[in-house]
Amino acid sequence: AKQDGGNTLRFFAPEMQAHTRRSLELASGLKHATAHGELFLVFQPQCALDSGALTGAEALLRWRHPQWGLVSPAEFIPIAEQSGTIVAIDLWVLEHAALQLRAWDAQGLPELVVAVNVSAAQFGRPQFVEEVLATLQRVGVAPQRIEMELTEAVALKQPEQAEITIRKLHAAGFRVALDDFGTGYSSMSYLKRYAIDKLKIDQSFVRDLAEQGSDQAIVTAIIRMAQSLGLRTIAEGVETAEQAQLLQAYGCDEMQGYWYSRPLEPQAFAAFAQRHRSS
């Protein structure tokens, strides 16, 4: 196959090699990223659509690589999932989100809930719930302050096991949100079976909300379904006032997106929270 690849191969090979080299170096770099202090969290504010009050934040992971600078989680999370380092990284995220909550509490910020992303590899571990509880206990933060964001892919990989794990999370006091909702294959029956609190409407439905009738139909259907199941809704990727107004009119509870705020480093988040205190 090498020979008959001919010019095509010669044309693409260097680029592919560079890509593979970067992936390999990222994979090995990730093993030390936590110990070397290269990872940090940013926090994106979430707000109530009716009052505009700050309701919480999503913790989003950032990696400052010594050579390549800031690497996007969209690139390194899949690599961490393939190499298995994601389990340690997810726990690092939970611990540091909890440490940040304690620091904000000490600064007198209003008590917020922080959402963290849970990967399939972490969620599928038999000791998952015990591990996260032990981590929070060590830091001294109650599970009520943490929202676990699962994707449909994560939740539906092993539906029976997922149902049990979500119940355990709930019993321990965590909130559970279904992330990127509408992009997977979830059915009404799963939504009813799982002890989910919140649906996060995927940003792909929000992006063209003002222009696309089909997106309006999908988003209103999701909100109506959530309401009839007693679930809260949050729209992600809200970038314009028009999108926020439409979502509010549809009865969506909360929003997250650049229009309200970009993800912020802890200091900037604290300042934002002080400005957006509900009086």
Residues that bind ligand C2E (CB under 6 A): 44, 60-61, 72-74, 77, 90, 93, 117, 119, 179-180, 203, 236-239, 257-258, 263
| Chain Cα centroid distance, residue 273 | 20
Nearer to ligand C2E, 77 or 226 (CB): 77
How many angstroms separate the first and last alpha carbons of the chain? 69
Question: Judged by CB under 5 A, does residue 90 bind Ca ion?
Answer: no
Is the backbone of residue 226 left (phi > 0), alpha (psi -120 to 50) or beta? alpha
Task: Select from Ca ion, ligand C2E, none the partner in contact with residue 253, using the beta carbon and a kind-dependent cut-off of 5 to 8 Å.
Answer: none
Q: How many CB atoms lie within 10 A of CB 193?
A: 15
Nearer to Ca ion, 105 or 156 (CB): 156
Nearer to Ca ion, 85 or 149 (CB): 149
Task: Select from ligand C2E, Ca ion, none the partner in contact with residue 263, using the beta carbon and a kind-dependent cut-off of 5 to 8 Å.
Answer: ligand C2E
HEC profile of 115-167: EEECCHHHHCCCCHHHHHHHHHHHHCCCHHHEEEEEEHHHHHHCHHHHHHHHH
Sign of CA dihedral 162, 167, 172, 174: positive
Nearer to Ca ion, 49 or 180 (CB): 180
Question: Judged by CB under 5 A, does residue 152 bind Ca ion?
Answer: no
**Minimum CB distance to ligand C2E, residue 40 (Å):** 11
Site string for Ca ion, 178-197 (x = CB under 5 A): -xx-----------------
Question: Judged by CB under 5 A, does residue 254 bind Ca ion?
Answer: no
By DSSP bridging, strand 175-181 and strand 146-151 are parallel
By the criterion CB under 5 A, which residues form the site for Ca ion? 117, 149, 179-180
